[in-house]
Structure 1
């Protein structure tokens, strides 16, 4: 039986890491509450304690005791970590757009945007120095790789799929067109790997893909904005990208850069086999008229 925590975790990341590392030592009731905190962090700030307890299949008193076990005075202290994590999160798009309209015509807008993108790229590079090679190893070892990203994350997923498939035919894009997501997810097997892309607010489809991949026994690579994103909590490897932007909508520039960097490492790992496959694909594209012929003379 684990001992109670004398000093409560000071951040959401710290709390979730502690729960993951000590989950196996918790009582059955505490595991029920902890599992819900780990699996549904986005719901903790918006649902009542009674609703959370009902969803987790435990009594409200269990959540109070779990919070106290973790070093908090009560449930509210634990819940506040989840609340704080979204206070600093992105504002509603419309609210940010109003600010931009008020500043329209400002000569600073382009400079601010480019400065933000530079910072995003720097942070993305710093955060993935160790995890990028791990993700490349994981994907290279799988017989099939599936890639999924929805709404604004679709361009990131499509870029990864399109460029990777130039030298590897067993890469598949999960699209879910016309409500076929469940049908596509049936193809997943325990030997496959799945890349899921998402950032806050997280799409339901991305969570469904991550859950289905885990249930099928796949290895999961999360390409996300946070280590506690719903798709990252149970991922085998997480690649982080920064989405900060002075505009009304989060930036996907660093996400695309992360996808391109991952493909670069995948090609390097495959070596001569990738080069041969790439030459074949390039030749077929030219032969079928996909590209405008270069002018001569």
Structure 2
């Protein structure tokens, strides 16, 4: 199927580089569980190092991936390409599209932070800036727009995230429901996962969060919703994640940190971007819902009023 997609991409109406790379990444992720051990090593490196694949020689990439050059060539052909160079062109095109420019304030903050000798503080800060920087790229911008379109078109939206990513799911559901009342947080408490997911079917969307070690409940939720025809938007840390197969859209977000627990900073930031995109491009009703929510909260005395 990718072979046809790749041929279509070369025409006058071709998708841009990030879209083509996204298609390659999706197929790699779908094929990953069935690959041989050597091809898995190669695929893992390709998924995690798109810039290196774009500009390194096949031998250098093979050495870094701890496979032979012929293994990378076999992987490219497995993906429907005639040669590794043709495969690499997809990565070069996407990388050359360039990241969305970030404000220079991050550099200023790093400069200020360097004036202290607290290395833990600096290391956590470095990881945070790097994680956020990896989020705001041209290909993710395109994914966000498509994800917002799917969310706005959905009849119902289920949000799933357990243990380390429950905070992400809760934040998405709490903030999202202010504008979009059709969002439901799936808690799966007391064996109620199947019951909570039973009302969802075709025309609905599930947003799932999961980092390694992946929760069995999240896998089960995706299996249930996939069988019911629900479209999945997955937020995870790698395209090799077992949550990826079957997903309509996947956001691989960086979660590295010196902290003892995976960072959810990028995932929370992605939530803010997705929901902002929905309100920006959605119907006027969403803005009205936000205004109505605020009015109700103030009327109920939910906020401290300052004189």
Q: How does 1:1-297 map to 2 (within 5 A)?
A: 17=27, 20=30, 37=33, 77-78=38-39, 107-126=118-137, 128-293=140-305, 295-296=306-307
Alpha-carbon shift at residue 292 of structure 1 (Å): 1.5
Give the unaligned 5+ runs of structure 2.
1-22, 49-64, 66-116
CA distance in 1 between partners of 2:287 and 2:173 (Å): 17
The C-alpha deviation readout for 1:174-217, integer Å capped at 9, x for no partner, is 00112211211212111111100111111111111111111000
CA distance in 1 between partners of 2:294 and 2:29 (Å): 49
Q: Which structure is larger by alpha-carbon Rg, 1 or 2?
A: 1
Alpha-carbon shift at residue 81 of structure 1 (Å): 5.0
TM-score by length of 1: 0.66
Alpha-carbon shift at residue 108 of structure 1 (Å): 0.7
Paired residue secondary structure (1:128) = helix
Give the unaligned 5+ runs of structure 1.
1-12, 21-33, 39-66, 68-74, 89-105
Contact 1:128 1:240 in 2 (8 A): no
How many equivalent residue pairs? 216
Paired residue secondary structure (2:179) = coil
CA RMSD of aligned residues (A): 2.6
- Structure 1 residues 146 and 247 mapped into 2: Cα distance closer, same or farther (>3 Å)? same
Alpha-carbon shift at residue 167 of structure 1 (Å): 1.3
CA distance in 1 between partners of 2:294 and 2:258 (Å): 38
Paired residue secondary structure (2:214) = coil
CA distance in 2 between partners of 1:14 and 1:143 (Å): 29
Alpha-carbon shift at residue 125 of structure 1 (Å): 1.3
Q: Which residue of 2 aligns with 1:41?
A: none
CA distance in 2 between partners of 1:177 and 1:109 (Å): 37
CA distance in 2 between partners of 1:233 and 1:116 (Å): 28
Contact 2:237 2:253 in 1 (8 A): yes
Contact 2:257 2:263 in 1 (8 A): yes
